[in-house]
Amino acid sequence: MTSTAVCALIAAGSLIAPAAAQDRTAWLKDNETTTMTGYLLPGENIYGLCDTDCSDMDLFLYNEMGVMVDSNTLDGAFPIVTAPYEGTFVIEIAVPSCTHGAGCSVSISSDQGF
């Protein structure tokens, strides 16, 4: 393999790694909430994931003016919300059913790794 091909592979790998590293995680007890901020593109999906001690996780998406633009409060530990346009958004994470006394691990990610 030529040094140019090796450099291209290294560069491609460095383009992929940061997106995965930008996933956000938190530790929440039953009925707690937290917020995270991210810059999102139009149509970009934000995915929630809650650990095995959590049977329900809700996501709320707010624009910069604090107006809710999407939410997912359906039962389940894998909610998805979608940015309606490009901009900075606040993602509120709620855990209405964490069964572990010490709390549950929650994480969010997006199509672009905001």
Report yes or no on 33 lying in a domain.
Answer: yes
Report yes or no on 4 lying in a domain.
Answer: no
What is the spatial distance between Cα 31 and Cα 28, in angstroms, rounded to a whole number? 8
From 44, 32, 58, select the one nearest 89 (Cα to Cα).
44
Report yes or no on 17 lying in a domain.
Answer: no
Report pLDDT for 113.
Answer: 79
Report pLDDT for 10.
Answer: 38
Residue ranges of the chain whose pLDDT lies below 50? 1-21
- Alpha helices by DSSP H, listed for the chain, are 3-21
Full domain range(s) for residue 62? 24-110
Report yes or no on 42 lying in a domain.
Answer: yes
Report pLDDT for 21.
Answer: 42
Contact present, 46 and 109 (Cβ < 8 Å): yes
Report yes or no on 12 lying in a domain.
Answer: no
Q: Is 12 helix (H, G, I), strand (E, B) or coil?
A: helix
Report pLDDT for 98.
Answer: 92
What is the spatial distance between Cα 113 and Cα 23, in angstroms, rounded to a whole number? 6
CATH number at residue 40: 2.60.120.380
Report yes or no on 16 lying in a domain.
Answer: no
Number of domains making up the chain: 1
Report yes or no on 83 lying in a domain.
Answer: yes
Report pLDDT for 12.
Answer: 41
